[in-house]
Amino acid sequence: MDKLIIRGGHSLNGEIEISGAKNAALPELCAALLTDQEVVLRNVPKLQDVSTMLKLIRNMGVTCAHEEDGTVRLNAGALNKPEAPYEMVKTMRASVLALGPLLARFGQARVSLPGGCAIGSRPVDQHIKGLQAMGAQINVEHGYMVASLVNGRTRLKGARIATDMVTVTGTENFLMAAALAEGETILENAAQEPEIPDLAEMLIRMGAKIEGHGTSRIHIQGVEKLHGCEHAVVADRIEAGTFLCAVAATGGDVVLKHARGDHLDAVIEKLRDAGATIEVGAGFVRVKALGRMKAQSFRTTEYPGFPTDMQAQFMALNCIAEGTSKVTETIFENRFMHVNELVRLGANIQIDGKVSVVQGVKQLSGATVMATDLRASASLVIAGLVAEGETVVDRIYHLDRGYDRMEAKLRKVGAQIERAK
């Protein structure tokens, strides 16, 4: 099992290229299931979750190849097995994204209930309710969602879907399913994360009729058939935010190429309040940090609020910032599992339910720590970059699920970090 060895105390200076977003690439790979023509995706990151998704759709009969430059070519013309088995998706919750496209195009699907990081409940009941409103019959049997069309229908039907909560993967599933449904679908309380309009733009290139994407109310007019397209995956805002926090913690001056500052408004505002200087331009974000940052309290919420996927990384910064901060997690109930590992490095953190109180310390000290989930891994890397001495981050297979060669990118800007078996 791989681990990272970090020798802290070095500022970061130079340029980092931000990869395509995992949370956009995964639904867009599933969107290729909606057509029998070739789909070309560019800027697809080399991640474990992407490899798992490609393996899954190959198992369905899709031909696909991930090229060195990040291009993926897919053709689902010969898809003959509309199934996502547990053995292939047990580590990845995004498997649920296959449900809508398979049901829309083939009228049936058998998809395992999803796995992924152990950060809390991620119920699929909203997916099931929405697709049932579109005319699907879905039963949960032996850990699988078994779906089919009812009453002799050959296509899903348009519907008004108002979810009980904002759900990103639910919005994505409904978007893909509605693109081939009969009639109009209206999504109320839709997620607004940048990955949603990116998926919608891809579907529009395939011939879908969608309006309102990027807002909480999306209209989709179903069409009978979608065609192939070429599409570039949007830059990963969470990867960019992670490196912003790393530079703010260590000090330095780094330009993030391809980063979208307009997708990181809440994080950038907090970093500026903390004392970092951030310049946002077309196709880049530049961060400069000098001296100790000031602690910042924040509360996670749906986009455009402070993202839950940036909570752990910003907490790592707060650990060595001046002052006391309160971090309130409202999205996932188990997303403070990194706290005990940060405490092993010398952080002063107290948890009270959904709130962590962080008293900044002047110095962390290196130790061996264990990653518990994807974003927790990133927080431990940031803490290791500023800690005195050597930090070993174990179980980094979590990190590889969502960061494309993080250690190589950090090494390029001056970090003392290496991967070991």
Closest CA to 103 of 163, 36, 29, 174: 174
Is the confidence at residue 353, as pLDDT, over 50?
yes
Query: What pLDDT was estimated at residue 22?
Result: 95
**Can you give the pLDDT at residue 121?**
46
Of the candidates 261, 203, 205, which has an alpha carbon nearest to the alpha carbon of residue 237? 261
Q: Is the pLDDT of residue 409 over 70?
A: yes
149-165 pLDDT, tens digit each: 988 889 999 999 999 99
**What confidence tens digit (pLDDT) does each residue in 75-117 have?**
999 999 999 998 887 877 788 999 999 999 999 999 988 754 4
The pLDDT value recorded for residue 115 is: 59
Q: Tell me the average pLDDT of the chain.
A: 94
For residue range 161-194, list pLDDT tens digits in order. 999 999 999 999 999 999 999 999 999 999 999 9
Q: DSSP labels for 48-104?
A: HHHHHHHHHHHHTT-EEEE-TTS-EEEE-TT----EE-HHHHTT-GGGGGGHHHHHH
How wide is the angle at C-alpha 55 spanned by C-alphas 53 and 59, nearest 5°? 115
Active-site residues, by number, are 117
Q: 373-384 pLDDT, tens per residue? A: 999 999 999 999
2-53: per-residue pLDDT in tens?
Answer: 999 999 999 999 999 999 999 999 999 999 999 999 999 999 999 989 999 9
Identify the helix (H) or strand (E) that includes residue 391. Answer: strand 390-394
- What beta strand segments (E) does 150-283 contain? 160-162, 184-188, 209-211, 217-221, 229-232, 252-257, 277-281
Say yes or no to pLDDT of 219 above 60: yes
Which pTM was predicted? Answer: 0.95
The percentage of the chain sitting over the pLDDT mark of 70, rounded to a whole number, equals: 98
User: How far, in Å, CA of 213 to CA of 199, rounded?
Assistant: 9
pLDDT digits (tens, 9 = 90+) for 233-250: 999 999 999 999 999 999
Distance between CA 219 and CA 195 in Å, rounded?
A: 17
